[in-house]
Amino acid sequence: MSSVKAVLVLEDGAVFEGLPFGKVGEASGEAVFYTGVVGWQELITNPSYRGTLAVLTYPIIGAYGVNREDDESPAAHVGGLIIREYSPYYSNWRATGSLEEYLENRGIVGIREIDTRALTVHLRDHGEMRGSISSEDTDPQTLARKLKGAPSPYEQDLAGQVTWAGLRQAAGQEKCRIVALNLGIKNSLLAQLTALGCTVDVLPCTASAVDILAKKPRGVLVTGGPGDPRAADYAVRTVKSLLGKAPLLGIGLGHQVLALALGGKVGRMKVGHRGVNHPVKNIVDGIAQITVQHHSFAVDEGALPKSVEVTHKSLNDGSVEGLRSKEAAASSVQFHPCPDETGRPHELLRKFCQID
């Protein structure tokens, strides 16, 4: 680890000094904070973090290293990583290397020895905003000028940067076949689907309704992904064309895309939901659960048409966490379904795939 100075500058002029971590260089993006205690490898490779500078709120990072199994995608997507204290010594029977080596190998610029508690409070109070990390040019004024002239990553079509096409075969006997409209799908979601006996045709985010229906799927999963759903207007048009023609389930960004396709609106949150500990209530059955979330945009409840019913809400801020159409077989959740404590795929996925 280098002891040369590094600096983080936010677009409102706030400056945080620290030390280099990972690749020496410069990176910019939307500064967001992640409240999970673990999961840094999954975060780095999660397409939902494309265009972000991720602040890890847990104070000691790196103690269990990284491994060859937990990547959520083949590529690293996070723009930069911001931490308090780094542990170069790792201990885990699955570990194959250190976190800093992992960042260096993937070209991820980071900064350590930042007061992440103060930074998180700043973002909570003032809202998520663009930022820049540099361990090369550490003059805050120079970085601030560069940042001022740079557009937000959220103005780009980030889903188009992370999409891919392919086929994932069911584990064991095939019980159903579905299509995933890939706005930024994760390996862990595919693993749940294939464990249920689903063969998944993964189609790129630009696939048309004709392309999707040609696969004759039992249902269409509109996946999670990064950024502003309004930048992926082609996906909104596709989902709108699919309404009433195939069962639809939206997850994460796919939830927001479905809301737009149903005539709703989506807006930027002051502070997004990013972590593994977000409480959500199913207002249909009254059951609450702790969920995994990775988003900075939310559905505007007041702008939803009468033909759309809200099914889930955040217990932290009351934001819309789920919805369903009253006129078509289409529903969605803002959170990311995860296996239960026994490792069984999430019940939501079981119901969507019609698997007992």
- Averaged pLDDT, 39-51: 97
Secondary structure of residue 94 in the 3-state scheme:
coil
In this prediction, residue 144 carries a pLDDT of 94
Res. 2: pLDDT tops 70: no
Please write the tens of the pLDDT for every residue from 131-157: 999 999 999 999 999 999 888 999 999
In this prediction, residue 3 carries a pLDDT of 54
- Compute the distance between CA of residue 23 and CA of residue 344 in angstroms, rounded to an integer: 38
- Compute the distance between CA of residue 311 and CA of residue 44 in angstroms, rounded to an integer: 31
Res. 4: pLDDT tops 80: no
**Bridge partners (DSSP) listed for residue 312:** 282, 322
Options 3.30.70.270, 3.50.30.20, 1.10.275.10, 3.40.1280.10; which CATH number does 6-155 get? 3.50.30.20
Spans of all domains in the chain: 6-155, 159-352
Res. 1: pLDDT tops 90: no
Q: How many CB atoms lie within 10 A of CB 80?
A: 27
Q: What percent of the chain has pLDDT over 70?
A: 99
Q: State the Cα torsion 341-32-255-225 to the nearest 10°.
A: -90
197: enclosing H helix or E strand: none
Please write the tens of the pLDDT for every residue from 266-323: 999 999 999 999 999 999 999 999 999 999 999 999 999 999 999 999 999 999 999 9
DSSP track, 203-244: EETT--HHHHHTT--S-EEE---SS-GGGGHHHHHHHHHHTT
Q: What is the CATH number of domain 159-352?
A: 3.40.50.880
